[in-house]
Amino acid sequence: LDREAAMHTQAPHSADLSNLWMPFTANRRFKAHPRMLAAARGMYYTAADGHQVLDGTSGLWCVNAGHGRQPIIDAISRQAAHLDYAPSFQIGHEDSFLAASEVAALMPDGLDRVFFTNSGSESVDTALKIALAYHRARGEGQRTRLIGRERGYHGVGFGGISVGGIAPNRKAFSAVLLPGVDHLPHTHDLARNAFSRGQPAWGGEPFADALESLVALHDASTIAAVIVEPLAGSTGVLVPPRGYLERLRAITQKHGILLIFDEVITGFGRLGAATGSAFFGVTPDLITLAKGISNAAVPAGAVAVSRGVHDAILDAGAGGIEFFHGYTYSAHPLATAAIRATLGVYRDEDLFARARALSAPFEEAAHALKGRRHVIDIRNLGLVAGIELAPREGAPGARAAEAFGKCFDRGVLVRYTGDTLAISPPLIIGEDEIGRIFETLADVLATVD
Ligand code: PLP
């Protein structure tokens, strides 16, 4: 016991760092200068050296209700003691059905069939497979083409990187990406829309009309689905210009193409509504979910599917297994317990409305950085902000990386991709803490070359 207690209180360097191959990390650089987290509660992490770090990113956009929430801890603990694991193939456990109903109740009307996964990447691959299965079930098996978008992030499965549009995630695997994928242009227009507050006021329709060009090129009869993030997060916070999502919906509907919204980030309150779909008033055919679904306390994800898509696949099933897909851990009892408790916290504390109410002071605080050194754009919606810095000459990303490190050392966790800093705090954040995040950033930017 003494040894165990000692391990938890020692500096990070007591562990041998060589065995762990860290994901999406410059391993050698990290291991030369490790920054470690040791504990978390509410809005704060405790770093391994003991200093408090305000969580400006909800972990990785996922701890929407804040850390260490007692109802979630209790639910997971109870479930672990009560039903540690139950298969979900050809047998069920009640919590999985209750969790599905509770997730469905938060989805747009009609998207009330729920398939459980363990991550965003799995949700994306599941949704793409559902899209293909749907067309095949309806006798349109030639509809196999999938359309993503430049700069899109849809996780790291082969399906997700194929429809994704982030070049470094794709290039090493380019020869084996899914065939028959095409991409819409991204919607970032810095020259016209820099420092827009909320949704850029105009310009959405022409970006969406690019889908008509792809339809003309490939023919609608070959296209299964279009997948986009309603607000692109991981690429550096790209807010959809007004009219964009509405036009995408109209074009997909006209051509019988399924529309998938990847709401792994925008789901569960990030924009001040249960979903981005509800926030923007645009309903797709499928929604991919993860992250905030379980407050990240247990890995979990889901795909919410329209009844029409679900029923078409079941109708074609001829009494056997209708959809040959699923995970050992689909609807894992710890995940469904975490999901139910998390949704309870969101409801009891009205956190989506809280995020909505905080989005105005959050926007003010973010845009107060305008005019600071290096800042070339500020983008925001709900409780998400992207602060884009001019890249350092010959070293893209270095400036944001330096700002990230200095913010951490001063007790604020931010995130960066390329030279964009992303802020996405838990929805329980207070106005003082919002102020602290952006004031710390302002101080730090003054010290970054
Ligand atoms: N889709 C989107 C929009 C995401 O932002 C992410 C993760 O950031 C994923 C999918 C992948 O999720 P995961 O890392 O849980 O596989």
Domain containing residue 27: CATH number: 3.90.1150.10
Pair 418, 323 in one domain? no
Q: Return d(Cα 368, Cα 435) in angstroms, integer.
A: 10
If one counts every other C-beta atom within 10 angstroms of the C-beta of residue 294, the result is 32
CB of 262 shorter than 6 A to ligand 1: yes
Pair 165, 286 in one domain? yes
Q: Return d(Cα 398, Cα 27) in angstroms, integer.
A: 16
Q: Return d(Cα 57, Cα 59) in angstroms, integer.
A: 5
Pair 240, 342 in one domain? yes
Mutate which of 63, 64, 122, 153 to test ligand 1's pocket (most atoms within 8 Å of Cβ)? Answer: 153
Contact between 199 and 239 under an 8 Å Cβ cutoff? The reply is yes
Query: Over the range 171-187, which residues count as b (16 or more CB within 10 Å of their CB) and which as e?
Result: eeeeeeebeebbbbbbb
Residue 105 burial (CB < 10 Å; 0-12/13-18/19+)? Answer: exposed
Q: How far is CA 320 from the centre of its chain?
A: 34
Mutate which of 260, 264, 298 to test ligand 1's pocket (most atoms within 8 Å of Cβ)? Answer: 264
Per-residue confidence (pLDDT) for residue 331, from 0 to 100 = 98
Range of the domain at 308: 72-348
Ligand 1 centroid vs 154 CA: distance in angstroms?
Answer: 6
* CATH at residue 342: 3.40.640.10
Two structure tokens written together for 15: 């562990």
Pair 120, 197 in one domain? yes
Ligand 1 centroid vs 124 CA: distance in angstroms?
Answer: 8
CB of 163 shorter than 6 A to ligand 1: no
Half-sphere exposure of 118 toward its Cβ, with a 13 Å CA cutoff?
11
CB of 57 shorter than 6 A to ligand 1: no
Pair 365, 305 in one domain? no
Identity of residue 94: E
Per-residue confidence (pLDDT) for residue 262, from 0 to 100 = 99
Assembly ipTM: 0.99
CB of 164 shorter than 6 A to ligand 1: no
Ligand 1 centroid vs 227 CA: distance in angstroms?
Answer: 13
CB of 120 shorter than 6 A to ligand 1: yes
Q: Return d(Cα 215, Cα 248) in angstroms, integer.
A: 12
Residue 393: which residues within 8 A CB-CB, separation 6 or more?
none
Helix, coil or strand: residue 221: helix
DSSP 81-131: HH-S----SS---HHHHHHHHHHHHTSPTT--EEEEESSHHHHHHHHHHHH
Pair 23, 81 in one domain? no
Of all protein residues, the one whose alpha carbon is nearest to atom 13 of ligand 1 is 120
- Domain edge (last residue) among 299, 332, 348: 348
Q: Find the radius of gyration of the CA atoms of the chain.
A: 22
Pair 176, 141 in one domain? yes
Domain count for the chain, please give it: 2
Pair 291, 410 in one domain? no
Scan for tokens 């036009």, then name that residue. 247
Contact between 238 and 203 under an 8 Å Cβ cutoff? The reply is no
- Domain edge (last residue) among 318, 348, 378: 348
Q: Return d(Cα 155, Cα 162) in angstroms, integer.
A: 10
Pair 156, 284 in one domain? yes
Pair 101, 50 in one domain? no
CB of 121 shorter than 6 A to ligand 1: yes
Pair 342, 354 in one domain? no
- Domain edge (last residue) among 289, 317, 348: 348
CB of 276 shorter than 6 A to ligand 1: no
Q: Return d(Cα 118, Cα 345) in angstroms, integer.
A: 21
Q: Can you tell me which atom of ligand 1 is nearest the CA of 290?
A: 15
Ligand 1 centroid vs 125 CA: distance in angstroms?
Answer: 11
Ligand 1 centroid vs 155 CA: distance in angstroms?
Answer: 5
CB of 234 shorter than 6 A to ligand 1: yes
Identity of residue 221: S
Ligand 1 centroid vs 128 CA: distance in angstroms?
Answer: 14
Residue 24: which residues within 8 A CB-CB, separation 6 or more?
none
CB of 154 shorter than 6 A to ligand 1: yes
160 backbone dihedrals φ, ψ, rounded to 5°: -65, -40
Full pLDDT tens readout for the chain, 449 residues? 344 334 444 455 689 999 999 999 999 999 999 999 999 999 999 999 999 999 999 999 999 999 999 999 999 999 999 999 999 999 999 999 999 999 999 999 999 999 999 999 999 999 999 999 999 999 999 999 999 999 999 999 999 999 999 999 999 999 999 999 999 999 999 999 999 999 999 889 999 999 999 999 999 999 999 999 999 999 999 999 999 999 999 999 999 999 999 999 999 999 999 999 999 999 999 999 999 999 999 999 999 999 999 999 999 998 999 999 999 999 999 999 999 999 999 999 999 999 999 999 999 999 999 999 999 999 999 999 999 999 999 999 999 999 999 999 999 999 999 999 999 999 999 999 999 999 999 999 999 99
Give the pairing type, strands 44-47 and 52-55: antiparallel
Helix, coil or strand: residue 364: helix
Q: How far apart are the first and last CA of the chain?
A: 47
Helices 333-348 and 351-367: angle between axes, nearest 10 degrees: 70
Helices 120-137 and 307-315: angle between axes, nearest 10 degrees: 60
Q: Return d(Cα 395, Cα 404) in angstroms, integer.
A: 15
Ligand 1 centroid vs 351 CA: distance in angstroms?
Answer: 22
Query: Edge-to-edge strands of the sheet including 420-423?
Result: 375-381, 384-389, 420-423, 415-417
Pair 83, 200 in one domain? yes
Contact between 109 and 298 under an 8 Å Cβ cutoff? The reply is no
Q: Return d(Cα 369, Cα 377) in angstroms, integer.
A: 9
